[in-house]
Structure 1
């Protein structure tokens, strides 16, 4: 009888992780059945998705509250089908607000449970470890320092590496990318990345444009590349450029997408805090990190934070290897000074690139294969 594996992934990033995981498991269990909730990538790998994955997506607290009845209904039906199927294991991929509740109930059915991608308990809301312990038999961690945190709390955990570390080349082809983008080989280029969400861009665009103006005043030879994801974010950024009275001769090029190309081509990246900072580190780019959020939200989050930094490169290196400017500290002059320092200090750039290479190698672990091995070791154990 084919092994049945239940999985739930509710976001695009989770779907990518899930599709690679299914492919890796199939190399060992070619006849395995995969059921649950997954996106198009997981379905292409043969998963039977009982509900559209996009129904799990929520945008902010208000949307989450409005969607509670629908999400509870999906969870109830999902659990009923899992109980009927009696899979060999359940894997919740990220989406902790939904998946941990499902895992706790599945665990009560005496089905082994795995949570793939540790919530950021090391950064804030460490009390979630107790909830995770009640929900998951095993945690698959993307960062090497995470398993120890869980093991101290009595939760089994395995470091499986970060999928992005596998995707990115150890030495990006900057010359080739510049040629493809028709950029001079010797130009000084700053990538300007104010985020992918409307809220991020609305809060950061004016400061990023102001910083670009100050950088241009100090270094007229610098060019700027601005990759933007949607029409809305492009419109917001264009408005910030208009408000700053930037003329047509200002050396700033707006792009649709191609954020990786923009970072590879750049000498320095000025960007919003988030996953893009880790991508910039894998691309060995010096950076200046910025972020703003609603004042009341920041005051709450700040009280709950355990670390003095928010950028992933700093968290992983355990020190401020790149500057961060948050809230009122995020203003054009400070951002510009941070970028100019990288442009003028070649020795510091070389030292940073060495740190980022070491970081890249430490996280490059063939993530999907290691995750599959950990899961396969749990299948068949069941409950004793």
Structure 2
């Protein structure tokens, strides 16, 4: 059988990898799959070479203590790919890990497709030159990315953003309220501190401080935290002294039900910078984007970042649709003020939703769902190399 090897390094990549595998299998039932991923890929019948949660690190200083273990995991992944000799290697996001597997695979003559363009357009633009040595094609999620990679001579396909098929706008608010016994007077807010342990540990105390301030003006406030299993315990511990007992939800269905309940209640979101902001836009939830790095990592990043906004919604809309609170401004007082505004002023919430529409309109692929467009691009490589 023709083997497709899929490598994902974190929860979001696991979801993308699973959707891609399903779309590929729908077109080519004869395909076989192997790789590195998490529970979503396992549901598609692809067990992981090792527990991908070991890769859930963020920031220069956070990586250093585990550098030798990470090198071992990379070596194990490279050895497995070399042994299996797949028709194509698909690396999904997490470039710090996945592209270190891609380079030696490509050197062996194995075609490599990287799904989710590395954000070298945002920082380290010179890094794009090396991508030609690591991948045969990049699948871009954002509409402004292809021209950047094309100019550098890297083959690229815009496949649309998978958030459009996430179901974030199809939750059941009544079910969420019933399951969690949420009273009519309670006003839920979404809190998303990220899927990496270091992110959650750094942001949760700040988010908790912001919620205490918000609760002084909105007594019925009830925080709702969609959590990945890898950070669930850290979240429970950090939220133990919050002003209202937080509701923790796991899994996409429960998360999307929470989104629906927040939207219906005219709530808002306190969101870590990243794809979560796009989920909020799809669900129609006004929000504030926040992030704080280790000071040394932040100082390095400040010298390298080349874009005017941290939020993908703002980048796509080319203006500040949602407020951003990064580094110093990521503090309880500033976050509380930004979170309260759309909850207290319907005009502010409505203005954000107009901006959401502008941003999301740019994320649609020329045809089909994003996962289907990605599958077509991957199959093009397979068939080009004789994997009929």
Query: Residue 187 of structure 1 contacts residue 222 of structure 1 at CA under 8 Å; is this kept in 2?
Result: yes
Instruction: Check if 1:146 corresponds to 2:145.
Output: yes
Kindly indicate whether residue 113 of structure 2 is the aligned counterpart of residue 109 of structure 1: no
The answer (yes or no) to whether the contact 2:139–2:158 under 8 Å persists in 1 is yes
Rg larger in 1 or in 2? 1
CA apart distance, 1:194: 4.0
Counterpart of 2:260? 264
Structure 1 residue aligned with 2:129? 130
Whole-Å Cα distance in 2 between the matches of residues 144 and 107 of structure 1? 26
1:381 aligns with 2:374: no
1:253 to 245, 250, 255: 245
In 2, distance between residues paired with 1:81 and 1:323? Answer: 49
Structure 2: gaps (5+ residues): none
Supply the distance in 1 between the matched residues of 2:203 and 2:107 (Cα, whole angstroms): 46
Tell me which moved more, 182-191 or 157-166.
Answer: 182-191
Query: Structure 1 length normalisation: TM-score?
Result: 0.83
1:344 aligns with 2:344: yes
Q: CA deviation at 1:153?
A: 0.7
Give the distance between the partners of 1:272 and 1:198, measured in 2 at CA.
13
> Secondary structure of the equivalent of 2:125?
coil
C-alpha change, 1:171 and 1:346, in structure 2 (3 Å) is farther
CA distance in 1: counterparts of 2:37 and 2:202, whole angstroms: 33
Matches within 5 A, 1:268-283: 268-283=268-283
**Pairing of 1:1-384 with structure 2 (within 5 A):** 2-47=1-46, 51-54=49-52, 57=55, 59=57, 60-82=62-84, 85=85, 87-170=86-169, 173-174=172-173, 177-178=176-177, 180-183=179-182, 188-217=187-216, 219-227=217-225, 229=227, 230-239=232-241, 241=242, 252-257=244-249, 258-266=254-262, 267-365=267-365, 366-382=369-385
* CA drift at 1:190: 3.3
Which blocks of at least 5 consecutive residues in structure 1 are unaligned? Answer: 242-249
State the TM-score, normalized to the length of structure 2: 0.83
Q: Tell me, in whole angstroms, the C-alpha distance in 2 between the residues paired with 1:221 and 1:40.
A: 38
Is the alpha carbon distance of 1:186 and 1:161 closer, same or farther for their aligned partners in structure 2, counting shifts above 3 Å?
farther
Deviations 1:337-379 (A, max 9, x none): 2123212332232232133234345435512111111112222
How many matched pairs? 367
| Alignment partner, residue 244 of structure 1 | none
**Against the structure 1 CA distance between its residues 171 and 198, is the aligned structure 2 distance closer, same or farther, given a 3 Å change threshold?**
closer
- Aligned partners of 2:341 and 2:348 also within 8 Å: no
* C-alpha spacing 1:331/1:70, structure 2 compared with 1 (3 Å): closer
Q: Determine if contact 1:192/1:224 at 8 Å carries over to the other structure.
A: no
Contact 2:185 2:220 in 1 (8 A): no
* Contact 1:88/1:380 (8 A) holds in 2: no
CA distance, structure 2, for counterparts of residue 81 and residue 62 of structure 1: 29
